[in-house]
Structure 1
């Protein structure tokens, strides 16, 4: 009697020679920007070792970017859920930063109460943005651009168009105390990004945020609370901007409200450059963190080489254009 059973042929393993190029391309796409960062640092070290290879340069690159880390994290929250783009984050950060010295120095509030008030105001700004965009349906760029201009005006009014300083030295030491050569503020930014990365990778909330950012309607049909997640993203962005503003104000002993918008271009450059690092084509906190220090290294190195002050604008603008182009190409590929 004929054997009617079917026999499944064993899977033939793919030759290592065919697998290796695929793995190499994937690894190179994840780490190429880090490789460029290392080469750039090596170039500056060779050209200007007496100024670049110093503890001061190290502290500037890693310890002086807390404001940008918090701003980029706040921007990422909204970008990940598909809200392009929140133009008010830098101004919200600046308002929180100036409120602390204004309330404490000018109006004699307790410094902790002033800091809490600044964070609450920044969070409420995020709530208002979210309600207008998510509930009312106003265009994100229009709402946040208008809100950013409005907040800048409020900050200038509160400070009487002047920088305000005079915060207690002990308050600043809470974020400036040196730990392993870097201020505590560096570790606060690191914890923020690591925590953000954990939420995105290992929690249902993070997966739902990604899902909403990829396809809002499909997410709604799948039972995801799209409205709540979008609104929560704006509120969280405001909260993070407020925290960053308070930390920056404490570290500098005060704040100049005109400085806030200086961070606008760098935070977008960091967020989009981060899509070419570690998780190509996706906004991700760890890639953005690396991008922040990549940008800081480039700007510092060029300044130490004797470039004029305009070089930072050229560098940030050029990187932003390249980063957006890379992000677009990677998204199409993905």
Structure 2
């Protein structure tokens, strides 16, 4: 399944197409608001509070970086990168291991962590693009490999004890929210600008839509695909650094729990703003839609397994909806 290019509608339809697309563009946002109203009616004393909304918008920053990393490869037609969550976990493990256990300077540890994820992203890209190995096979194997390395480095335990001042990188409050929320907002804004208003963005979309046509048009297809994997690794590393800054330590076993929400939010984003197309703003909205749904269920006291059902159900529905909307384009 490739992400389709934007097509120019015939003149006869140009005046009506935007209006006709409004309901589908904002349907998920409408459901999100309806969900907030429902939780507010059922648990007003718990849900309709400032701390609740601070939790929703202040705790999803690693997921924002992971979904943007996943979009880097999806947009060029490389679906199902299963290594993004383990890569974030690798970076978030390297920082406290080097800093706390080996006495490294914390910023040097951060650079090493990011360099490691960029290197893994480059290896993924080389194997997929230049060797021709299937994306799923490469990223599943590499994700398992780096996940194992993270467990080995941490001795399968949480490593904590980072300098509290380092937490300011993620937790400093701005307008009542941690500054890391605004990191994610800036990332999404920049990604949206690149995709919509730069030659690089057009090349990414073009390669994702049809590699052969893009190659005939003079685009360096392999270079674009390889660069997407490297960029994905970079974003995973940055997300890992921000995650460990906010937590003060990291348990690598937790990284696996990010994978399903990452895919669910990314595919749910295809139903928002640009129906049938992967887009950063839609994905950003999808993240907080899911966060609202899960937190509301937790406040209602449902069992823990319900979150897996919720994420899995949303992923199935989102992928199905993405397929239908893409066909309608």
Name the counterpart of 1:278.
273
Q: What's the CA shift for 1:144?
A: 0.3
For the residues of structure 2 that align with 1:239 and 1:200, how far apart are their CA atoms?
Answer: 18
The answer on 1:107 being equivalent to 2:102 is yes
Larger radius of gyration: 1
The answer on 1:213 being equivalent to 2:208 is yes
Name the counterpart of 1:84.
79
Aligned-partner SS, 2:81:
coil
For the residues of structure 2 that align with 1:280 and 1:19, how far apart are their CA atoms?
Answer: 18
- Aligned pair partner of 1:229 in 175, 200, 224: 224
Aligned length, in residue pairs: 319
Q: Retained in 2: the 8 A contact 1:273–1:324?
A: yes
Consecutive unaligned residues in structure 2, runs of 5 or more: 1-10
For the residues of structure 2 that align with 1:217 and 1:244, how far apart are their CA atoms?
Answer: 33
The answer on 1:309 being equivalent to 2:304 is yes
Name the counterpart of 1:299.
294
Q: What's the CA shift for 1:268?
A: 0.2
Q: What's the CA shift for 1:36?
A: 0.4
- Aligned pair partner of 1:173 in 168, 173, 186: 168
Name the counterpart of 1:251.
246
Give CA deviations for 1:230-250 in whole Å, capped at 9, x if unaligned: 000000000000000001001
Aligned-partner SS, 1:281:
coil
For the residues of structure 1 that align with 2:42 and 2:15, how far apart are their CA atoms?
Answer: 40
Q: Retained in 2: the 8 A contact 1:303–1:311?
A: no
Question: Which deviates the most, 23-32 or 254-263?
Answer: 23-32
Consecutive unaligned residues in structure 1, runs of 5 or more: 1-12
Name the counterpart of 1:68.
63
Q: Retained in 2: the 8 A contact 1:163–1:254?
A: yes
TM-score (norm 2): 0.95
| Deviant stretches of 4+, over 6 Å | none
Q: Retained in 1: the 8 A contact 2:40–2:47?
A: yes
Q: Retained in 1: the 8 A contact 2:169–2:242?
A: no
TM-score (norm 1): 0.94
Q: What's the CA shift for 1:23?
A: 4.3
Question: Which deviates the most, 136-145 or 303-312?
Answer: 303-312
- Aligned pair partner of 2:313 in 311, 315, 318: 318
Q: What's the CA shift for 1:68?
A: 0.6
